[in-house]
Structure 1
C-alpha cells in the first residue's frame, strides 16, 4: 500500500514539475504583452491631453492676436498725443505759457492762469501715461502671443513624438500577438485581457493614485510644523537647530513618516513608505490593487530669486498591479500635485542646503539665514 501511494505521489510530482515551467513560460510573455498594451493605452491618453492643450493654446493665440490688433489703434492715438506734448516741451511752448503769469493784473487773474496751466500740465501727464500704458499692454500682448506660439509648437512636436512612439509600439504589439496566438480565439483572449487591464487602471488604479497623491501633498505641506519642537507627537531628538554654529539637521525616519501620514488620513494604513539610499518607496494594497510609487528628494530652486530653496520630490516610477506606467503618466500625475517640503515653514530663518536619503532616514541639512 505504501509503495503504491509513494508511486502516485512521485507521478504527481513529476507531472507538476513538467507543467509548472510551461505555465510560467506562457504567463510571462502574456504579461509582457499586457505591459505593452497598458503603455500604448496611456500614450493614447497623453495624446488626448496634448490635443486638449493645443485647443486651449489656439484659443489663447486667437485672443492675443485680437488684443494685439485692438491695441494698435490705441497705441497710434496715444502716440500722436504724446508726440504733440513732447514737441511742445521741446519747442518751448510750455515755457511761454508760464510767462502768462507775469501778465496777470490781479491775484485772482494769476490764480486763474495758474489753474489753467495746471490743467494743461495735467492733460500732458495723462497723455504721456496713456501712451505708456497702451504701449506696455501692446508689448504684453506680443509677449503672450509669442509664448503661446512657442508652447503650441512644443505641444505639436511632443504630440508627433508620442504619436510616432504609439504607432511603433502598436505595430510591435500586433506582431507579437500574431506570433504567439495560434488561433483567432487566443488572439481575442489576449486582446480582452489587455482591455480589462486598461479598464481597471482607468477606473480603479488612476483614481486611487490621484487620491493618495492629493492627500500626500496636503500632509507634506504640514510636515515641517508637525515635526517642530513642542508639537504634539513630535520628538525633539529628531530636530537640532544649532548643531554646528549656524547649521542644523532635520531628521525623519520612515517609521515616523508612516505614523504621521496615518494620523492624517486612514487611507495611509494601506500604504507603507520606506527610505532607502537615494530613494523613497511607497507600496501597499488597497481594494484588491497593488500600488507602488518610487521617487527621490533633491534641492530645488524657484524662478523667483528671492525665494528660498525647497525640497522637491520627483516621482520616478509608478506601478499598478505590478505593471509600470509610462513616463507620460508619471509626469502628468506629478504636475497635478506638490509633494515638496518647505523648510521655511519649520522656521522662517532656515534655508535648505542639502538633502540625504539613507537607509530608514531622511536628513535635511539647513543653515540659519538672518
Structure 2
C-alpha cells in the first residue's frame, strides 16, 4: 500500500469518526474510577436508608391521622357528657341561689324527736353529697374535654411536622435517585455497580444494623452506670475545691471501664480528641466507625451528659443523618451524675485530647 493511499484511508477513517454522534464514538459510556464507583455505591446506601425513613414517616402520618379521628370522636362524646353534667350542676346551683336548699335545712328545726332529727340530718347529708357529686362530675368532665382538645391540637401539630419532614425527605430521595440513575446510565459498569449497591444494602440490613444496635444497647447501659463507677474511685473526682468540682477521665480508663461492662464492647475503641470523640471497631466482617461528642443537656431537675452521634460509618460507607436520628430514638447514650451523687449537678462538659472533663456544682 502506497503512502498516499494509506494517508487517504486514515483521512477517511478520521472523517467517519468525527461524523459519528458522541454516544457512538464513545461506545456505551465511560468506565468509572474506583473513587467514582465508591461514590455511587455510597449514594445507593444513602438512598436505601432515606427510603426507609420516608416509609416510616408515611406510616407515622397514617397513625397520627387515625389518632386525630379517634380524638375527634372522643371529644364529641365528651361534649355530650359535659352538656349532661352541666344541666345537673345548673339545677344544683339554681337551688342554692333561689334558697331552695335553705328551706330544706330549716326542716331540721321542725322535727319533734331526736330520732327524726337524725333521719332528717342523714337525708340532708345525702342531698349535699349528691350536690357535690353533680358539681364535681361537671368539673371533671370539663377538664377531660379540655385535655382531649389539647391532645387534638398536639396531634394536628405533630401531623403537620411529620408531613413537612416527609416532603423534605421525599424530595431528597427523588433527587438522589435521579442522580444515581443518570450516573449509572453513563457508566459502562452500571450492572456491576448496581450489584455492589445491592450487596452493600443487604449486608447493612442483615449484618450491620444488628451489630450497631448491639453496640448501642451495651453503650447505653455502660454510659448510664458510669457515674456510679466514677464515685467509687477518688482518682476520677476532684472535690478539693468547692468552687471547681471536677470529674476527669482519660480515654484509656474509659475503654477499660466499657470492656469490663461488656465483652461486645471489647471490639470497640474510643479515642478522645479536642472537641470530639471517635470510636472504631470490627466484629466479624462488620467494620463500624462512630464520631460524636459529649454535650451538656440542661433539664429542670438534673442535667445530663449526653453522647451525641454526628457520624456513623459501616464498612467505610457513611450512613445518613436519618439513620443516626432513628437509632437515637431507641438508645439513650448519656449519664446523669446527680442520680448517684445527689448533691452534685453538671454545669459544663469539655472534650480534650485524651481526656473528658465534667465540671460540677453543689446542688443542695
- TM-score (norm. length: structure 2): 0.89
Q: 1:299 aligns with which of 296, 299, 304?
A: 296
- For residues 149-168 of structure 1, give each alpha carbon's deviation from its aligned partner in whole angstroms, at most 9, with x where no partner exists: 21112111111111111111
Cα pair distance change 1:25/1:175, threshold 3 Å: closer
> What is the aligned partner in structure 2 of residue 61 from structure 1?
68
Q: 2:197 aligns with which of 194, 198, 204?
A: 194
> What is the aligned partner in structure 2 of residue 281 from structure 1?
278
Residues 1:352 and 2:346 aligned together = yes
User: What stretches of structure 1 of length at least 5 have no aligned partner?
Assistant: 1-23, 230-234
Q: 1:260 aligns with which of 243, 248, 257?
A: 257
> What is the aligned partner in structure 2 of residue 364 from structure 1?
358
Distance in 2 separating the partners of 1:301 and 1:54: 31
Q: Is 2:218–2:265's contact at 8 Å kept on the other side of the alignment?
A: no
- For residues 17-73 of structure 1, give each alpha carbon's deviation from its aligned partner in whole angstroms, at most 9, with x where no partner exists: xxxxxxx97100001111111111110010111122123212322221221121122
Q: 1:121 aligns with which of 124, 128, 131?
A: 128
Distance in 1 separating the partners of 2:279 and 2:57: 29
RMSD value, Cα: 1.5
SS in 1 for 2:334: coil
> What is the aligned partner in structure 1 of residue 22 from structure 2?
none
Distance in 1 separating the partners of 2:251 and 2:328: 21
Q: 2:337 aligns with which of 326, 343, 350?
A: 343
Aligned length: 334
1:244: how far off?
Answer: 2.0
> What is the aligned partner in structure 2 of residue 145 from structure 1?
152
Q: Is 2:245–2:360's contact at 8 Å kept on the other side of the alignment?
A: yes
Q: 1:101 aligns with which of 108, 129, 135?
A: 108
SS in 1 for 2:302: coil
My pick for the range that moved more, 158-167 or 148-157, is 148-157
User: What stretches of structure 2 of length at least 5 have no aligned partner?
Assistant: 1-30
1:86: how far off?
Answer: 1.3
Distance in 2 separating the partners of 1:325 and 1:134: 49
Distance in 2 separating the partners of 1:277 and 1:44: 35
Q: 1:239 aligns with which of 231, 237, 240?
A: 237
SS in 1 for 2:123: helix
My pick for the range that moved more, 348-357 or 82-91, is 82-91
Distance in 2 separating the partners of 1:60 and 1:329: 26
Distance in 2 separating the partners of 1:58 and 1:263: 47
Query: Which structure has the bigger radius of gyration?
Result: 2
Distance in 2 separating the partners of 1:154 and 1:240: 45
Residues 1:212 and 2:209 aligned together = no
- For residues 206-260 of structure 1, give each alpha carbon's deviation from its aligned partner in whole angstroms, at most 9, with x where no partner exists: 111111001100111111111212xxxxx4222122x322541111111111101
Distance in 1 separating the partners of 2:309 and 2:329: 10
Q: Is 1:247–1:368's contact at 8 Å kept on the other side of the alignment?
A: no
- TM-score (norm. length: structure 1): 0.87
Residues 1:177 and 2:177 aligned together = no
1:96: how far off?
Answer: 2.2
SS in 2 for 1:315: strand
